[in-house]
Amino acid sequence: MNKETIRFMLNGEQVEIYANPAKSLLHLLRDDLGLTGTKEGCGQGECGACTVLLDDVAVNSCLVPAGKISGHSVITIEALSKDGKPDFVQEAFVEKGAVQCGFCTPGMVMSAHALLRQNTDPSPEEVKTAISGNLCRCTGYKQIEEAILSAAEKLKS
Ligand code: FES
Ligand code: FES
């Protein structure tokens, strides 16, 4: 199998890994780097379960070839909690009852982060747009949208 050295920033640390550049970033994270917080749903760019930040932009990691991330920065759900304490977005999801089975949650939280990094005071419509690529089969989205708006409020305090 064709492999090459891939160097990139992962959750703030420089990482170097010898892997097949054609495999997806999702599988590089889960299988080669042991970061299983990023979930695989459809594997085809349709559900958003695999969302990570690539240079601070939300992307479906199942669609990104590992070979394309050299020299870039990737942030995954594992970067958020500190000392076992959830970050402000994760906390808002729990407070607003936005987590049921939880399968979509890492992707939703990462899409929320991508939004809040660019826009600290989003409107409900902007929140809806930010998570429009993330499917949830459980909550009906209302609690998720409320959680993201609540996280934005936390940023102000
Ligand atoms: S697993 Fe990537 S979009 Fe569904
Ligand atoms: S909480 Fe179950 S898919 Fe969203």
Task: Write out the chain's pLDDT in tens, 157 residues.
Answer: 799 999 999 999 999 999 999 999 999 999 999 999 999 999 999 999 999 999 999 999 999 999 999 999 999 999 999 999 999 999 999 999 999 999 999 999 999 999 999 999 999 999 999 999 999 999 889 999 999 999 999 998 7
Q: What is the pLDDT of residue 125?
A: 98
Q: Which of 45, 79, 113 is the last residue of a domain?
A: 79
Q: What is the pLDDT of residue 139?
A: 86
92 in ligand 2 pocket by Cβ < 6 Å?
no
CA of 75 from ligand 1 middle (Å) equals 16
Mark whether 139 and 101 lie in a shared domain.
yes
Spatial separation of the C-alpha atoms in residues 3 and 84, rounded to whole Å: 35
CATH number at residue 110: 1.10.150.120
CA of 111 from ligand 2 middle (Å) equals 14
DSSP SS3 for 155: helix
Q: What is the pLDDT of residue 63?
A: 98
Q: What is the pLDDT of residue 145?
A: 98
Domain of 103 in residue numbering reads as 88-156
Mark whether 46 and 113 lie in a shared domain.
no
Q: What is the pLDDT of residue 156?
A: 87
Residues 6+ apart with CB under 8 A from 71: 7, 8
Cβ atoms of 96 and 146 within 8 Å: the answer is: yes
CATH number at residue 28: 3.10.20.30
Q: Which of 43, 62, 79 is the last residue of a domain?
A: 79
Structure tokens at 40: 């695989």
What is the reported pTM?
A: 0.97
